[in-house]
Structure 1
C-alpha cells in the first residue's frame, strides 16, 4: 500500500480581515461581511448562523466598550479544515470583558454569556498596547473526528 497516495492534503487555511468604524453601523457591517465571506468558503449554514451571532456580540462589545473616538476595530476570520476562529480587536486594552450574570432588570450585559454558549472556546489576548483581541473558536469537525 502506498501511503503517499492514500492521504489527502489538508484544505488551505482561509483568512479575512477588515478595519471597521467603531459605530453601530460598523458592527452591523462586521456581521454582514463575516456571513458573506463564510458563505463563499462553503461552510455549513449552521456554522454561519453561529458565527454571525458571535461576530454580532463581539463587534457590539467593541463598539460599546472598546471604542475610542477616531479609532477603528478589526474583524478577522481564520478558517481551517477543523476550526473557525473569529477575532475582534479594539483599542481599549485597559477595559477587559467580564462574564457574569447581569442584574435581572438590566437591558444589556448578556453578550458574553451568549458567546460562551455559542463558542467552543473563547478568550482575550492583550496587546500590542493599547489593543485587546477577543476571540472565539468553533469546531468544524465532530469530536470523534478531531
Structure 2
C-alpha cells in the first residue's frame, strides 16, 4: 500500500488521498477500512454514522469489482478519496482505478442481475448509496470507476 495526500496544493480539493493496494481480496478489504478511517478524520463524523457506512459499502464494492473484474495478476488497484472545498452539494468522491479498460461495468439499469444469487448486485448497491457514479477510461491501460456519497449538512 502506498499513500499520498495533496491537500493544500493550489487547485487541489480540500482533502485528496491516493492509496494503492494489491489487486487481491485482502487489498479490497483494506480499501474499505482505510476509506472509512480517512473519511472520519476529514469530516469528524463517527465511524458508525450513515455516511460512513455508505462510504464503506461503496468503496468496498468498487474495490471488489476492480479486483474481481479489472485486475491483472501482479497489478495494483488505486483508490482516490476526494473531499471538495465547497461543492454545491457536500459529497465525498471515491475513485477506484484498475488495469482493465476493456471491461467496463454493466449499469444495473441495463437489466436484471445474473441468476447466481451470490454475485452481480454490487453496482446496484453503489447506485442506491451513491448520489452519482460512473466510469471513465483515460488511456489504453486503466479505467476509473467513481462514485459520490452525500454528506450530512452541515459537515462538522
TM-score, normalized by length of structure 1?
Answer: 0.83
Distance in 2, Cα, partners of 1:40 & 1:123: 26
Equivalent residues in 2 for 1:14-93, closer than 5 Å: 14-44=15-45, 45-80=49-84, 81=86, 82-93=90-101
Secondary structure of 1:125 counterpart: strand
Structure 1 residue runs of 5 or longer lacking an equivalent are 1-11
Q: Is the 8 A contact 2:51 2:150 kept in 1?
A: no
Larger radius of gyration: 1
Aligned CA-pair RMSD? 1.5
Deviation, 1:127, is 2.0
Moved over 2 A (4+): 42-45, 103-106, 139-142
Distance in 1, Cα, partners of 2:144 & 2:64: 14
Instruction: State which of 122, 126, 135 in structure 1 corresponds to 2:133.
Output: 122
Deviation, 1:141, is 5.3
Deviation per residue, 1:17-59 (Å, 9 max, x gap): 1110000000011011101111111253221110000000000
Moved more, 34-43 or 71-80: 34-43
Aligned to 1:94: 102
Change beyond 3 A, Cα 1:105–1:71: closer
Deviation per residue, 1:2-30 (Å, 9 max, x gap): xxxxxxxxxx6111111100000000110
Aligned to 1:8: none
- Counting helix residues as a fraction of each chain, which structure ranks higher? 1
Structure 2 residue runs of 5 or longer lacking an equivalent are 1-12
Q: Is the 8 A contact 2:51 2:152 kept in 1?
A: no
